[in-house]
Chain A
Amino acid sequence: MKTVMIVDDASTVRMFHKMLVTSPDRIIEEAENGVEALEKAIGTNVDLFLVDVNMPKMDGYRLCKEIRLNEALRAVPIIMISTESANQDAERAYQCGANYYMTKPVDADTLKSVVSAVIGGEANE
């Protein structure tokens, strides 16, 4: 079983992304912001983070940094999904430790494929 953690402050978006990547051999975890994400992730086995940028309490950039600083979570790939499309925003994401950067609105097929590429398995239709 692979675990994907979806971090976004909008429940609609979380639900949407969850719909796209869900499958019988995956567990989908959700968090509203960076703080919650860390709380939930530490101590569990997360295989992929899907992280939004703009969130209260702790934004996506900071969450990335925290994940990389944390020995237990360091090896987990992070895909950042953001509304911002400028080059600097992607740059910043990479400097904070993200592995990949996608802009919203995310193409459904692309997200499915990307997640499958990272953790294996196929999403349900």
Chain B
Amino acid sequence: MSELLDVFIGESRENLESASQELLEIQSSGPASERVDKIFRDLHTIKGSSDLFDIKPLTRLAHAAEDLLDSVRSNEVTYSDDIGDLLLEALDQISIWFDELEVGSQNVEQWKPISTQLSAQLRHFIDPTASSEVDESSATVNNESPIADPQTLSEEHIALIVNFGRNADLDLLCKATGPDCYFIQYTPDEGCFFRGEDPINVTVALPGIKAFNIEMPELGEDADIYNCFTSIKALGVAGEDEIKQHMAYYEGQYSCVSFSTQALKAACTGKIQKCVETIDDETLNSALNDTDIEQVHASAGLLLASLNFDDSEDGSANRAVLSLLSSIDDLSFLNNEIREDGCSGKDTNMNTSPEVGNSSANEAGDSKREASKPKNLALHERAMLTQQLALLNSDNYKSEFMFPSIAGLVGNILGAEFENEDALAVAISNALDEETIQAQANDDQAQQTSNDATAETTQPANTQPAKALETTEDTAAPVKAERQAVKMLKVDQSKIDYLMDIVGELTVAKNSLPYLAKQAEEEGGSRKLSKQIKAHFSIVNRLTESLQSAVLQIRMVPVSHVFQRYPRLVRDLARKLDKKIELCMQGEDTEFDKNLIESLSEPLIHLLRNSIDHGIESPAERLAAGKPEVGRIDLIATPLDDSVIIEIRDDGKGIDPQKIKLLAFQKGVISETQLENLDDNEALQLIFAAGFSTSEQVSDLSGRGVGMDAVKTMVSQAGGTIEMQSEVGVGSTFKLLLPQTMSVNRVMMFEVNDQMFGVGMDAVVETVKVPTADIQRIRNEHVLVIREKLIPLCDLREALGFEAAEEREEHSILVVSTPQGEFGLIIDKFHEGIDVIQKPLEGVLAGYAHFSGTALLGDGRVLLIINVQEVLAKCL
């Protein structure tokens, strides 16, 4: 122990040194916030460590200094030299005490008044109007606030109670009809009668009062009977607030200590156990071991009546214990404390040790076994298990992150392994008291139904990943002891991906069936067969679509997965730039395909960085502009059909269309005429133009100085679109529209340079084969006239970087429709249309803007699906 003390003193001296240094600096150069913070931390450490050694005066002084510094650093109190001087005085005093502690010459009693006074002086700076905290008239009692840790009663409190009466703790426990108890020391002023006060009646009327003690001195004949001479102590069962309210008028004349019945139970346990051992009655002992309440009552009552109790400490304690045992309703706190061999506190439950070794062998049978075996739990084990169950049932519960540790922890306590939340919850419930779980489940149930009600109205489809395919109304799937119908499975991601691939191939493979049917009819001459094939194809088609849809649903994941990284990102970046920014997110439950969600994250991060870097102004600028100091970025996800709209809105300085136009002109993106003619809206859209960036220096935060054109590419690669609106001085809003799943697309296949490509069928207008002669040249471009429409042409060979083909007599042209009009793509060969599940580009390919995705063909080939817009942009 002395080694610990040495470490404490050593460490604390360092803290003192550092604190003094900082204090001196402050005195000469002002209260810089880092300095104040440093001193605060030093004192906080000293306070915390001293608490371990129960050196109350030192802890109290450190606490007062810490609180004062806290007020200074949060600007509630202005630093002054007086404060500095007083703090130095406190530090010096602590140092002196350390000296004494070091040589062992400390007299903690003598420290008390010094500590009290200095603490009061320090606290006076915090609140000059507050009266002194320590009630001097009640020398033995501290004005403690309720015990922080409801599990234990402090030594002081126990002393108070025992002071009241030898076995007052047991007697009170006997009568404890509620969860909170109190002890009051009430010393009315002598002149209180003149104020109209009536202390004894006030005491008798205390809520939940169970006992009181009235001290009355001897009164001489000439005593002034109109003075109040009484001094009262009382014990009772009621909450602190009730007491405070009852005693409201008498503040300053009483002190109250509140504690929980739980803590009282824990405090009595030792005494009870000792007495039971002394009494040593077989029936009673076995009744306690079996937790047979009725038997305990009966045998305790019998003993109470038959034994003789003397007035000794032991005798009266025994009687009190028996009295308690004969009426107490809840024996759970005593569990495991009564053992024949007399060892207490240890959980020697025979079931644990062998379990731990065998648990790995017993996976399937575990949940069943746990259900039938009630285990005797120690107090802290109960508390921990209860907490784990609460965590499982909480609204914030995230299986992926929390299940492993909860399962591990519970597993160690109960000696088993758990596959899923269900088995876990059932096991915990069985191990704990049934009643408590019922109550908690009812509360959660009530809350969950209201949660469900709101969730239903905002989200149409809302299934969690890794959930078995069920259509229950229970969207968030909390784990309840009774609701065993909801099963959860933990599945490896790669298995789902594999499943997806197979489904994708199946989708493509089924497509050849109609063709085969046709063959059967034309070449095989069997109409009947053809019809049958077609009929079956219809069934297979329907099934495949359902399968596809189902698997896609499994992969849906709430965007919160990506969103949750952002607040930290925003905080860090904002802090680096000395800006104050708040990120508000909405719609985090909106679901997205797992594979697509990463493709969503990149553009979002860039947009966020832009907002933080260039959008939101510094706090000073914002205040000057009449805006709140803290900038705000809203990130909102909303589902729309089978897409998702993601909005990033900031209230920063907005984008100046004039500036954009100018820069665009300088970079050669627009011509002079455009510079004059473009309106504000069109100007703003220029930021998406290729090669455009307004940041003059490459800010190290935005990394590569990514411009909006790159962001746009990322978005369109993901199959989405992006829009922007902005107002100078007000802020900017970016809207991204992205497809929610990798849906099935109908794609038209074609060949260029012996390679297969695809183009989304909805863009295809028609396919034509034209003689080369029909292709005309207008200036530098090739065009084709179709039905009096002028269609500009784009040679895909060239656009995709292949060598030019040899001269041909005719060309195959794929006419596509875009927002800018119709265009023709010159390709080599047409192929059929097929249904594919389009995957976004990954890895190296991701940088190629020409392609919006890939698809797996039935024969294992990979189809590259072109992004029409991008290709045309490059071409023309």
Q: Which residues of A contact B (CB under 8 A)?
A: 9-13, 15-16, 19, 54, 56, 68-69, 74-78, 83, 85, 94-95, 97, 99-105, 107, 109-110, 113-114, 117-120, 122
Contacts and interface: CB of A to CB of B under 8 A. Distances in A.
A95 B7 CA distance: 34
B414 to A, nearest CB: 10
B44 to A, nearest CB: 7
12 contacts: A9-B45, A12-B4, A12-B52, A15-B3, A85-B148, A94-B396, A99-B384, A99-B405, A100-B409, A113-B347, A117-B381, A118-B384
B113 interface: no
Contacts of A76: 405, 408
B424 to A, nearest CB: 13
Contact of A117 (B402, B407, B412): B412
B11 A12 contact: yes
Contacts of A19: 4
B520 interface: no
A74 B41 CA distance: 30
B149 A100 contact: no
A107 B152 contact: yes
Nearest to B406: A99
A110 B380 contact: yes
A104 B387 CA distance: 18
B402 A97 contact: yes
Interface string B379-393: 011011001101100
B409 A118 contact: yes
Contacts of B402: 68, 97
A9 B44 CA distance: 11
A100 B3 CA distance: 29
B151 interface: yes
A23 B94 CA distance: 35
Contacts of B356: 120
A76 B394 CA distance: 19
Interface string B139-163: 0000000001101100000000000
Residue with the highest number of chain A CB atoms closer than 10 Å, among B380, B387, B406? B380
A56 B11 CA distance: 16
Contacts of A117: 347, 378, 380-381, 384, 412-413
B380 A114 contact: yes
B537 interface: no
Contacts of B151: 107, 110
Contacts of B11: 10-12
Given A16-B4, A117-B413, A75 B384 contact: no
A102 B345 contact: no
Contacts of A68: 401-402, 405
Given A75-B405, A97-B402, A85 B380 contact: no
A69 B378 CA distance: 32
Contacts of B51: 104-105
Contacts of A12: 4, 7-8, 11-12, 49, 52
B35 to A, nearest CB: 15
A97 B401 contact: yes
A74 B401 CA distance: 6
B404 interface: yes
Interface string B396-433: 10000110111111001100000000000000000000
B847 interface: no
B782 to A, nearest CB: 55
Nearest to B385: A117
B7 A77 contact: no
Nearest to B415: A120
A99 B44 contact: no
Nearest to B377: A117
Nearest to B404: A75
Contacts of A83: 44, 48
Contacts of B4: 12, 15-16, 19
Interface residues of B, number: 42
Given A56-B41, A85-B149, 18 more contacts: A10-B49, A12-B7, A16-B4, A74-B404, A76-B405, A83-B48, A95-B396, A97-B405, A99-B387, A99-B406, A101-B387, A107-B149, A113-B381, A114-B384, A117-B381, A117-B384, A119-B412, A120-B356
Interface string B808-851: 00000000000000000000000000000000000000000000
Nearest to B394: A94
Residue with the highest number of chain B CB atoms closer than 10 Å, among A13, A103, A114? A13
Interface in B752-802: none
Given A97-B401, A110-B151, A75 B49 contact: no
The B interface, classified by DSSP as helix, strand, loop or mixed, is helix
Interface in B67-81: none
A68 to B, nearest CB: 4
A95 B407 CA distance: 17
Contacts of A119: 412
Nearest to A84: B148
A75 to B, nearest CB: 3
Interface in B348-398: 356, 378, 380-381, 383-384, 387-388, 390-391, 394, 396
B149 A74 contact: no
Contacts of B408: 75-77
Contact of B380 (A74, A104, A113): A113
A77 B409 CA distance: 6
A124 to B, nearest CB: 14
A106 B408 CA distance: 23
A101 B347 CA distance: 21
Given A12-B8, A102-B149, A110-B151, A78 B48 contact: no
A99 B391 contact: yes
Contact of B44 (A54, A85, A105): A54
Interface in B30-47: 41, 44-45
B345 A109 contact: yes
Contacts of B407: 75
A102 B52 CA distance: 15
A8 to B, nearest CB: 9
Given A99-B406, A107-B152, A16 B384 contact: no
Nearest to B15: A10
A104 to B, nearest CB: 6
State the 9 A-B residue pairs at the shortest beta-carbon distance, nearest first. A75-B404, A85-B148, A12-B49, A12-B8, A68-B401, A77-B409, A105-B51, A10-B45, A103-B148
B48 A104 contact: yes
Residue with the highest number of chain B CB atoms closer than 10 Å, among A74, A101, A102? A74
Contacts of B7: 11-12, 15
Contacts of B41: 54, 56
Contacts of A74: 401, 404-405
Contacts of A114: 380, 384
A13 B809 CA distance: 88
A16 B52 contact: yes
Nearest to A75: B404
Contacts of B8: 12
A78 B405 contact: yes
A76 to B, nearest CB: 6
A85 to B, nearest CB: 3
Contacts of A122: 346
A64 to B, nearest CB: 10
A110 B152 contact: yes
Contact of B49 (A13, A94, A95, A103): A13
A99 to B, nearest CB: 5
A85 B412 CA distance: 27
Nearest to A107: B152
A59 B391 CA distance: 21
Contact of A77 (B49, B394, B405): B405
B743 to A, nearest CB: 30
B384 A100 contact: yes
Contacts of A56: 41
B412 A118 contact: yes
A68 B400 CA distance: 9
A117 B412 CA distance: 7
A56 B408 CA distance: 29
